[in-house]
Amino acid sequence: MIAAKYLHGHIDKVINFVKQSGLMPAMLSKSRFNRRIHAIFELITNLFFSIAEVLKRINISSEYIIDSFPVPVCENIRISRSRIVKGEQYRDYKPSMRKYFYGFTVQVIATVD
């Protein structure tokens, strides 16, 4: 969570930060840390689905706002070198930006409240 919120997803920077700050004196190596993250991926996914179910139940009104935005993985010129994602399903066009991008489209659903 520190990586996502403060250090733009750079796990190696997070590991150094946690070691230097003393939050976890015996911090894992980058390799071991990645293995642990991948081992609990299903648990994290289930947690987010459970939170979504609770939020749906407590929503009194049935009014929602839907929006989407692109999350590009790389510039178009670098698509052939991308190691994060591969395939044509990640290439998309955003008419509002008048631009093609390579990455994900995030769909956000929020209640009016």
59-68, 72-81, 83-92 — which is least confidently predicted?
59-68
pLDDT in tens, 13-61: 888 888 888 888 888 888 888 888 888 989 988 998 998 888 888 877 7
Q: Please state the domain count of the chain.
A: 2
Assess whether 52 and 73 both reside in one domain. no
Domain that holds residue 85: 61-113
Assess whether 2 and 50 both reside in one domain. yes
Dihedral angle of Cα 90, 91, 94, 97, to the nearest 10 degrees: 110
Assess whether 86 and 54 both reside in one domain. no
98's CB contacts (< 8 A; 6+ apart) are none
Assess whether 41 and 67 both reside in one domain. no
